[in-house]
Amino acid sequence: MQKEVLIADSLSVSFNHQTVLDEVSFSVAKGEVFALLGGNGAGKSTTLKTFLGTVSPHSGIAKVMGLNVTSEIDKIRAKVAYLPESVTLYGHLTGVENIQYFLALAQVNCTDADIEQALKRVALQQNAWHKKMSFYSKGMRQKTAIALALLRNAPVLFLDEPTSGLDPNAIDEFNQLIANLATEGTTVFMVTHDVYGACHIAHRIGLLDQGKIVGMFERGGQTNIDTEAVHAAFSARNRP
């Protein structure tokens, strides 16, 4: 029984002879909310994509629930849910249809009642459920995607800039949702450049800069991570 759900061990990725990730190592435990924080081009998304198998590592090891990303990606994908940064589902389908389609793709069986329940949980207004996605606002699309992720019932959740474009109310709801999921045992891995959001929600924050982990901040008991400290460290690295 492995306690670490996500492991990155000396992970390096390069594109066109340019190193994007340079020997990155960290691990995330079951039920933990881990945020990878960094500026533009720091390598956050690359790290995320390595775990999802859409980017292959140059050297080093990345594992999800003990499965290696380079050799067992199909097994990994069955166990993870992913929330992309800007959610564009299919505009020609309704919200419910989109969820049904993606669940079918994942070969997850869900009843209509399950879907309704999930949509209620993410607080998507009911009159939008059967409207075409092309009429959705960004927040509504985001909520639909979260509902989809919930329905996947995945033990690991990957989030890419999850709160960008959401209004403050929605952000609160979202944070509450993530906290609940974590208590239920879901492992959450998110990448963001939003210092405050990260501090608010994460149990642990890794600060990434130019492909390297340059700092690690941990929550002490019930108190959130110290925003000031993280912010200072972040700005020091991202001065114009």
* 25-44 footprint of other proteins as x/- string (CB under 8 A): --------------------
Chosen residue from 97, 114, 173, 194 binding other proteins by CB under 8 A: 97
Among 67, 106, 179, 214, the residue binding other proteins under the rule CB under 8 A is 106
The span from the CA of 108 to the CA of 98, in Å, is 14
Amino acid at 73: I
Q: Counting contacts by CB under 8 A, is residue 49 touching other proteins?
A: yes
Among 4, 23, 29, 53, binds other proteins (CB under 8 A): 53
Residue 220: exposed, middle, or buried by beta-carbon count in 10 A (0-12, 13-18, 19+)?
Answer: exposed
Q: How far is the CB of 77 from other proteins (least distance, A)?
A: 5
Q: Which is nearer to other proteins, 152 or 203 (CB)?
A: 152
Q: Quick check: 84 binds other proteins (CB under 8 A)?
A: yes
Among 29-37, 74-82, 186-194, 208-216, which window interacts with other proteins (CB under 8 A)?
74-82
Residue 235 lies near other proteins (rule: CB under 8 A): no
145 part of the interface to other proteins, by CB under 8 A: yes
Q: How far lies 114's CA from each of 19, 82, 147, in Å?
A: 44, 19, 10
Say whether residue 86 binds other proteins (CB under 8 A).
Answer: yes
Work out whether 62 is an interface residue with other proteins (CB under 8 A): no
Should residue 77 be labelled a site residue for other proteins when binding is judged by CB under 8 A? yes
Residues near other proteins (CB under 8 A):
49, 52-54, 74, 77-78, 80-82, 84, 86-90, 92-93, 97, 101-102, 104-107, 145, 148, 152, 158
